[in-house]
Amino acid sequence: MVVLAMDTATEVLAVAVGRGEEPLAGAAVRVPRGHSRLLQPTVLDLLRMCGLNPRDVELVAVGVGPGSYTGVRLAVSTAKAMATALGLPLVPVSTLRAVAGAACPGRPSASVRVLPLLFARRGRAFGALYEVSAAGWVCRIPPRVEAVEAWREHVHAAEGAESGGPLLLVHDFRPQDQGLISGFGEARRMTLAEVAGGIAPALLQVAARGEVAPVVGDAVHDVAPEYTLRAQAEVKWEEKDGMAGDGGRESGGPGGKPGE
Amino acid sequence: MRILGIETSCDETAAAIVEDGRRLCAQALASQVEVHARFGGVVPEVASRRHTEVVTRVTEQAMREAGLEWHQLDAIAVTCGPGLLGALLVGVSAAKGYALATGLPLIGVHHIAGHVAAAFIGTDLRPPVLALVVSGGHTEILRVDEQFRFERLGGTKDDAAGEAYDKVARLLGLRYPGGPKVDALAQRGRPDAFAFPRSMLDEDNFDFSFSGLKTAVWHELERCRRSGETVAVEDVCASFQQAVIDVLVEKTARAVAATGLRTVVLAGGVAANQGLRRALAARAEADGFRVQAPPLALCTDNGAMIAAAAYFAWSRGQRADLTLNAHAVLSLEDWQAGRV
């Protein structure tokens, strides 16, 4: 089965073509503000490299964030258009799961905890906590945005109770912001740039192994990014007019991270 | 030649299929007006999110209503600027996804060229024409040559006319989007009740300025408030609208005289304004030129205008490839030169 995977929610434009979970060709492009220009040409180039054309694709996997608001919409819009035009199932995968998978591509014999943290400004990070072992991937804390301090507490609290093994922290914090992510104990650290080439292959894996169920038929139209933060204007409006739901006190959006 | 046009530059997600730039096969549209009304204006992030949720469904709806399959199309067109960057990117990304999946050629369309092309749908109108484009974001006088190439003769130096309408509506406490409400109220008011300024009429160019007019309305409302006078909202609207229309019509008539073109295309969201339509038609009759405006439904943003403009652009050889990008700011010159 020919699988096409793409993600544009981080500074890495990640694309891969695979036969099942086996990557045939992949690209990780870190050209600043290049995502919108380069996504579709990259997809076509990789397919051609494999001797395939777009009609040969049988399954599309797309990273749905969280991450850059504007960025994530590029791949989601493109993937939805491709999947609906070709009548293909679409697998929406958390970008955090893909980043975690990129940091830990194999299946370790002893369990490892993987914490992907993507910078969300104002001392916050989009994050999730996964545990991976020979048995596969388990999501311990689902994707959300929190203060980095809160992520530290989650990790320590988990260590107090039942350790899921050593911690692997993978992040996109710039050198000047890395002070924020100190104090995660003995965690092994990797940067997003170091694991960039593994993001799209991780999407292939998740999609091909059925870790996330494919969306089929008319429902493909409803696939949308997982922003985890509401638009700032909506939050302010609800605060002002007192019609807030549970998210009413949440602070605003990151207002667009690099990567378009 | 059948072209699918996709438009997401502001707060309407729209798609349509048009044949040879003239015959509308089908169109679909998801308006966000209600979504943004509570914020008093278009919120870019909210608009972009909404576009992403509905863009493929709107496109499929247009295709289904046209009764067409992808292989029966000849090209895919999309607005590539100017507009809200995040919003534009959704349409451009989807259009590139469709082009990639189907192998159909791609055409990037300038939003203003789209508004002008809307006036050609369902008509036998042929360029060259003069175009007056008036919308929430634009007020421009353009010369359109035989090959549908644009030359900007003049435009607003500050607020667009539609922007002035919305700002005056806000001063009067009318709910967003206030422009059409100002037009409706103006029908019942006295256009000579207030002497609002006609900016730049004494200047020998085709430029406009509307920010002073908006300020004049504000001063008048303040004066009334301080002196305890009741404000006749209808009169304010009628006087304001008359000031806008006088300038638009006069400058357009001068451009007709200067260029020798005998047809004026009135396009853009404010082309739906009844007062403007009447005044320009009256002046056309007096001066002996013809006015062509799109039907009301094609004045505001839509996909058909993008498909129509794409046909004319295609006819003179314009194409895009999968590197097509979105541009918040885009001149007609750059677009025509393929710098997209």
Q: Same structural domain for residues A7 and A81?
A: yes
Can you give the pLDDT at residue B300? 93
Q: B69: which chain A residues are within 8 Å (Cβ-Cβ)? A: none
Domain membership of residue A250 (yes or no) is no
B 212-251 residues with CB below 8 A of A? none
Can you give the pLDDT at residue A251? 36
Domain membership of residue B123 (yes or no) is no
Q: Same structural domain for residues B140 and B203?
A: yes
Over range B16-44, report the average pLDDT.
95
Task: Give the domain extent around B93.
Answer: 2-117+298-336
Residue B222 has pLDDT above 50, yes or no: yes
Q: Give chain B's length.
A: 340
Q: Can you read off the two tokens belonging to residue B298? A: 């094609």
Domain membership of residue B65 (yes or no) is yes
Q: Same structural domain for residues A55 and A82?
A: yes
pLDDT band for position A156 (cuts 50, 70, 90): confident
Q: Same structural domain for residues A131 and A90?
A: no
pLDDT band for position A242 (cuts 50, 70, 90): low
Domain membership of residue B122 (yes or no) is no
Over range A22-29, report the average pLDDT.
98
> Could you give the angle at which helices B44-66 and A69-86 cross, rounded to 10 degrees?
10
**Which residue type, as a one-letter code, is found at position B117?**
A
Contact between chains at A73 and B38 (C-beta distance less than 8 A): no
Can you give the pLDDT at residue A234? 87
User: Mutation test of the interface with chain A: which of B36, B43, B45, B58, choosing the one with the most A Cβ atoms within 10 A?
Assistant: B45
B192/chain A closest Cα distance in angstroms: 39
pLDDT band for position B177 (cuts 50, 70, 90): confident
Can you give the pLDDT at residue A247? 38
CA B98 to chain centre: 26
A148/chain B closest Cα distance in angstroms: 25
Q: Tell me which of A129-133, A162-166, A200-204, B275-279 is least confident.
A: A162-166
Can you give the pLDDT at residue A246? 40
Q: Same structural domain for residues B188 and B260?
A: yes
Q: Same structural domain for residues B22 and B75?
A: yes
Over range A32-56, report the average pLDDT.
98
Q: Same structural domain for residues B133 and B274?
A: yes
Can you give the pLDDT at residue A243? 52
Can you give the pLDDT at residue A258? 34
Q: Same structural domain for residues A142 and A211?
A: no
CA dihedral B143, B146, B150, B156 (to 10 degrees): 20
d(CA B33, CA B50): 11
Domain membership of residue B225 (yes or no) is yes
CA B79 to chain centre: 12
Q: Same structural domain for residues A50 and A162?
A: no
Q: Same structural domain for residues A65 and A148?
A: no
**Model-wide pTM > 0.90:** yes
Residues whose CB falls within 8 Å of the CB of residue B188, separated by 6 or more in sequence, listed in order: B234, B238
Q: Can you list the alpha helix ranges (DSSP code H) found in B20-143?
A: 33-37, 44-66, 85-102, 111-118
Over range B24-47, report the average pLDDT.
94
Q: Same structural domain for residues B134 and B45?
A: no
Identify the DSSP state of A215: B
Q: Same structural domain for residues B18 and B35?
A: yes
Read off the CATH number of the domain in which B237 is found: 3.30.420.40
B79 in contact with A, Cβ within 8 Å: no
Q: Same structural domain for residues B199 and B236?
A: yes
Count of domains forming chain B = 2
Q: Can you list the alpha helix ranges (DSSP code H) found in A162-243?
A: 192-195, 199-208, 232-241
Percentage of chain A with pLDDT > 90?
A: 81
Q: Same structural domain for residues A65 and A125?
A: no
Q: Same structural domain for residues A206 and A142?
A: no
Can you give the pLDDT at residue A259? 34
Q: Same structural domain for residues A35 and A54?
A: yes
Q: Same structural domain for residues B105 and B14?
A: yes
Q: B51: which chain A residues are within 8 Å (Cβ-Cβ)? A: 73, 77
Can you give the pLDDT at residue A161? 59
Phi, psi of B222 (to 5 degrees): -65, -45
Count of domains forming chain A = 2
Residue A253 has pLDDT above 70, yes or no: no
pLDDT band for position A185 (cuts 50, 70, 90): confident
Residue B162 has pLDDT above 50, yes or no: yes
Q: Same structural domain for residues A120 and A205?
A: no
Each residue's pLDDT tens digit, A69-98: 999 999 999 999 999 999 999 999 999 999
pLDDT band for position A197 (cuts 50, 70, 90): very high
Could you report the predicted ipTM of this complex, rounded to two decimals? 0.94
Q: Same structural domain for residues B81 and B176?
A: no
Task: Give the domain extent around A120.
Answer: 105-194
Higher model confidence: residue A143 or residue B199? Answer: A143
Q: Same structural domain for residues A9 and A67?
A: yes
Read off the CATH number of the domain in which A156 is found: 3.30.420.200
Domain membership of residue A244 (yes or no) is no
Instruction: Single out the residue of A19, A107, A7 nearest to residue A63, CA to CA.
Output: A7
Domain membership of residue A39 (yes or no) is yes
Read off the CATH number of the domain in which A8 is found: 3.30.420.40
Q: Same structural domain for residues A25 and A90?
A: yes
Residue B91 has pLDDT above 90, yes or no: yes
* Residues in A lying within 8 Å of B, measured between beta carbons: 36-41, 43-44, 53-55, 69-70, 73-82, 84-86, 220-222, 224-225, 227, 231-234, 237, 253, 256, 260
B90 in contact with A, Cβ within 8 Å: yes
Domain membership of residue A240 (yes or no) is no
Domain membership of residue B21 (yes or no) is yes
Q: Annotate A79-98 with three-state secondary structure.
A: HHHHHHHHCCCEEEECHHHH
Each residue's pLDDT tens digit, B111-137: 999 999 999 999 999 999 999 999 888
Q: Same structural domain for residues B13 and B40?
A: yes
Q: Tell me which of A113-127, A154-168, B63-77, B139-153 is least confident.
A: A154-168
| Minimal-distance CA residue of chain B relative to A252 | B45
Can you give the pLDDT at residue A193? 97
